[in-house]
A and B are shown apart, each in its own frame.
Chain A
Amino acid sequence: MQWESWSVFFNMGGYAFYVWFSFGLTALCVVWEVIALRKRSSEALRLTRLLSQND
């Protein structure tokens, strides 16, 4: 391991803002997309069930 301590690691050689913003935003987008898709799936399934029950 090349990092002396966690604080050195989080500091990223002074580039903490740029590095963690990049990785954080990527993680955020992934989490958001997955949650949005789960909502869309359950909504689509709910509506199909509703439609078929009304027949």
Chain B
Amino acid sequence: MSLKKIIFALGLIIAVSAAALIFFAHGLKYISVNVALLALGAVLMRQSAYFSDNFYQHASPQTFYPTAGRMIPWFAWLAVVFVIYGLYISFAIAPTDFQQGEAYRIIFVHVPAAWMSMVIYLAMAFWAGVGLALNSKLSAMMAQALAPTGAIFTLLALVTGSLWGKPMWGTYWVWDARLTSELILLFLYLGFMALQASIDEPRKADRAGALLALVGAVNIPIIYFSVKWWNTLHQGSSINMGAAPKMAATMFEGMILMALAFWMYTIAVALIRVRCIILERERNSGWVKELSLKDHA
């Protein structure tokens, strides 16, 4: 199995099965989500062209650097298209909520940001773990590249949540289980970045950071299930796997499109950052020097 085929298959699965599942289950109710997923699948299938059949070749920063460069515009453009479409649905199509009025529209940034804060942490812990287990430099660089974006989305989830809490609960902050565990997530991101920055030897920093990231991953299920395990102020999830969403179809569509936009943005930004990290850390290796001379000529 090569990376090329895996990425192609992933794109195909997303395009066909996800769109088809929603289509068969709900008809044309969530058509914008279908279209967005089709576009995402097509782009992923296209990305496979940038990878070779040799699985391990892409584990080296030297081969991944140009590959990442070719992938960035695709995800950046998808992010732009999804965010325009998502904002259009969020403000022009989705109706006023009968309980919360217009304040509920914060959901279109709050929930996607909160999802991303958890997803990025899992991705970061995954790459850090792979880096630790296989001693691969590029995986550790990926973990390092994801952390700042994850921290930003965590901060956004907290701030937009408190801006939603004020008009609805009457307070910006309560020490509720969901809010507290999300705050701990922010400290985990900041701790990971601070720890890596404080160790001068990059490979040692990678290992220390990876341990912190892996131990901290225990917080993710705590955040996710906090609204079920403890009877706290934060409302339960509106979207559950295998159940119909408890909200109007257009509200759901807006939320999913914004979430997809944040996903695409995260991929693009993490790839840009990993390229910076590669240049910064491999500055003295021959291929980087050759590359910069070639650019210069």
Contact = CB atoms under 8 A, between A and B. Distances in A.
Given A13-B96, A33-B148, A45 B279 contact: yes
B295 interface: yes
A29 B160 CA distance: 12
A29 B113 CA distance: 12
Interface in A12-50: 12-15, 18-19, 21-23, 25-26, 29-30, 33-34, 37, 40-41, 44-45, 47-49
B102 A19 contact: yes
A28 to B, nearest CB: 10
A5 interface: no
A2 interface: yes
Interface stretch (B37-45, B50-58, B280-288): B280-288
A44 B109 contact: no
B167 A15 contact: yes
Given A18-B166, A22-B160, A41-B275, A52 B102 contact: no
Nearest to B258: A26
Interface stretch (B2-10, B25-33, B265-273): B265-273
B283 A18 contact: no
Nearest to B273: A37
Contacts of A48: 279, 283, 288-289, 291-292
A41 to B, nearest CB: 5
Contact of A44 (B105, B159, B280): B280
Contact of A52 (B106, B167, B289): B289
Contact of B279 (A18, A30, A44): A44
Contacts of B273: 37, 40
Given A1-B92, A18-B166, A29-B156, A51 B269 contact: no
A55 interface: yes
Nearest to A18: B163
Interface in B163-177: 163-164, 166-167
Contact of A15 (B102, B265, B289): B102
B292 A19 contact: no
Q: Sort chain A's interface into a size bin.
A: 20 to 34
Main secondary structure of the interface of A (DSSP, over half): helix
Contacts of A21: 163
B102 A13 contact: yes
A55 B289 contact: yes
Nearest to B284: A51
Contact of B163 (A1, A3, A22, A49): A22
Contacts of B163: 18, 21-22
B276 A44 contact: yes
A24 B192 CA distance: 27
A43 to B, nearest CB: 8
B276 A40 contact: yes
Nearest to B160: A22
Interface of A: 1-3, 9, 12-15, 18-19, 21-23, 25-26, 29-30, 33-34, 37, 40-41, 44-45, 47-49, 51-53, 55
15 contacts: A15-B101, A18-B166, A18-B167, A19-B106, A21-B163, A22-B164, A25-B159, A33-B148, A33-B149, A41-B276, A47-B279, A48-B283, A49-B292, A51-B284, A52-B289
